[in-house]
Amino acid sequence: MEKISVAVRFRPSIAEEAAGERQWRIEDNRISLHRPLGTPISGISFAFDHVFEQSSTNASVYDILIKSIIHAAINGFNGTAFAYGQTSSGKTFTMNGSQLDPGIIPQAVRDIFDTTHMITDREFLVRVSYMEIYNEEINDLLSLGNQRLPVHESLERGVYVAGLREEIVNSADQVLELIKLGEANRHVGETNMNVRSSRSHTIFRMVIESSAKDSTSSVDAIRVSVLNLVDLAGSERIAKTGAGGVRLKEGKHINKSLMILGNVINKLSENGKHRAHIPYRDSKLTRILQPALGGNAKTSIICTVAPEEVHIEETKGTLQFASRAKRITNCAQVNEVLTDAALLKRQKQEIEELRRKLQGQHSEVLEQVILKQRNDMHKSELEREKLAMELQEERKSRQALEHHMGEQQRRIDYLNELLASNDARKLVQGTIHTHSSYEEMSSRNCMSQGNTFTTPIFKAMPDQFVVKRSNHSKAFDSSPLPENFTNTANEDLWLQLNKGFRTDLDALQMTPNVRYRAAQSNDTSIGTDLEEWNTKERCLNLASECKLHALQVDALKEQYDMLERKYSQLREENSSLVQTLSNSNHDVVVLKAQKDELQKDLNYEREKMRDLKEEIRLFGLVFAERECLLNSLYSKSKTMIENFSSSQII
């Protein structure tokens, strides 16, 4: 277990410091903020592993902080170094440098190849890649066609970026040319604080594989280490950078990823018992750097700060970040691979014979041929992995289409069942329509027959009643009753008596028989009218029910039409899905054909490799024969000279 190495570097001041301003002071490895009179401000003091003043160079930063990580990576340890700080604080200059003062990345590249050339008991294979994280999308800086690459994780490779171009290299100059190509493809822009501001995070990765040269065992362990050199984009304040439009969007993504990086650092710096979930997956940056931040890697962080008084708040935030990062501990160990997962082990057996015969004037040409063959084989393997991933995605999409087609088929079956039930409903509706026609005919017959309706459903009204008044829709046969109360005992009198009217009952006269008979006949006609009215009401009720059934039939027809339209739409979707599935099958066939072509190309390259081996073997045989012939000629000439010299002496 070892802690992350954290250093702070002050860039040179851009403007002269005015008197009476707060200033940062460096005392050994401690940084503190002082008031204008020189008194320190309490609570603003930080201690780190190393503190580099404004006059420091990139070479001194590399020798003190990074060189040990580079040598550890050569010996099989994973290593990571990245620069953190606000915009225009010198991160890119620290990592890349200039021609007069090379940065950490070019110094590390030259140091790696110088050291590997000095190690004679191990064989090394180095491959490099260069990527950027721009607006939370991973782009390959060595290949413009590889954009928006995904991040994957496996047991053999750990966390890696799928589809990223890797180049096998054998010299520092070759790597520096690739870096120059990647820097030309990187996103940069101008802000108020920097003329050439980094608008993306870049990760330069070197994979170093090595194995013992004198080992002949088939289970020889191969060391595989990953070195990440990261140049982070700087945190920004809109008020200072004046960003707008595209620059504003870039700044938001940069600040968000740096905020997530700070959250990860906070979680990792906590005690193990109180440590909560670490949000590595919230950002592509923290996901890629997950092994370096809290895993198997030797890590160094260079926090760059600006000394001006106007940037004190940003500098304070950077120093607080560095203080939290200083409490993180990693457990770095040598990475050894005992399987055929290492690229060096897969290629070692094929080129071992060529390596032994690299002698004489053709050594440089054959070395370039071997390097080209290695790159071609590696590209073929990457292409095969890419095709395998595409095939897997195609299979997933095909399964999704089949599932969707199954859902559509179930919907079609349901619609067929619904159509069958609708046919049954049509029969019922025909019956209802017949019944309603019969009811309408009955109602018309009832209305036409009038009083001759033979099946009344109401009982006859009683002839004698006191309280209830008859229906006065028709006039009585007798004369109308007088308005004033008289001594005639008629119906109105009885109603008034029921309401509490008092009169002399002895003075009342009964209604004449004629009037009574007229009233009786009138009551009979009233009963007939009631029967007719009830019959009409029943007919009207039946007519309203028929109308209600007609409305229900119309609603069912509308629902049926809607289901018909939906059924036709589903049939069209089904046909389109079938077409899409056929297209996907065609694409699968095309991919298989491409895979076969690639396999043929790979076999062709292997045949060329075998032919080259055979040519080298024949060349070695001819060379051995000539060497034997020269040795025999040399021995014969030597004996002849000796004989000649001895004969002269005699």
Q: Write the CB contacts of 66 (distance below 8 Å, at least 6 apart in sequence).
A: 81, 104, 107, 108, 300
Query: Residue 635 to residues 623, 624, 630, 639, 641: CA-CA distances in angstroms?
Result: 18, 16, 9, 6, 10
Q: Cα Rg for the chain, rounded, in angstroms?
A: 50
**How is residue 189 annotated by DSSP?**
E
CA dist 123 → 22, 126, 224, 473 (Å): 55, 10, 12, 123
- Alpha-carbon distances of 8 from 227, 320, 578, 595, rounded to whole Å: 21, 11, 62, 51
CB 199 within 8 A of CB 254: yes
Q: How far is CA 222 from the centre of its chain?
A: 35
Find out whether 84 and 301 touch, Cβ atoms under 8 Å: yes
**How far, in Å, CA of 135 to CA of 141, rounded?**
15
Does 89 belong to an annotated binding site?
yes
Interatomic CA distance for residues 326 and 49, integer angstroms: 8
Residues 6 or more apart whose Cβ sits within 8 Å of residue 555? none
639 is in an annotated binding site: no
Among left, alpha and beta (phi > 0; psi -120 to 50; other), residue 176 is alpha
Q: What are phi and psi of 367, to 5 degrees?
A: -65, -45
90 annotated as a binding-site residue:
yes
d(CA 175, CA 371): 14
80 is in an annotated binding site: no
Q: According to the annotation, is 468 in a ligand binding site? A: no
Contacts 24+ apart (CB under 8 A), 386-395: 386/162, 386/163, 387/591, 387/594, 387/595, 387/598, 389/162, 389/163, 390/591, 391/588, 391/591, 394/584, 394/587, 394/588, 394/591
8 A C-beta contact, residue 367 and residue 170: yes
Q: Is 87 annotated as a binding residue?
A: yes
CA 585 to chain centre: 26
Place of tokens 């002839």: 463
Contacts of residue 520, defined as CB under 8 A and 6 or more positions apart, other chains included, come to 463
Among all chains, which residue has been given the structure tokens 């050894």?
A: 336
Question: What residues are designated binding site for ATP?
Answer: 85-92
Question: What residues are designated binding site?
Answer: 85-92
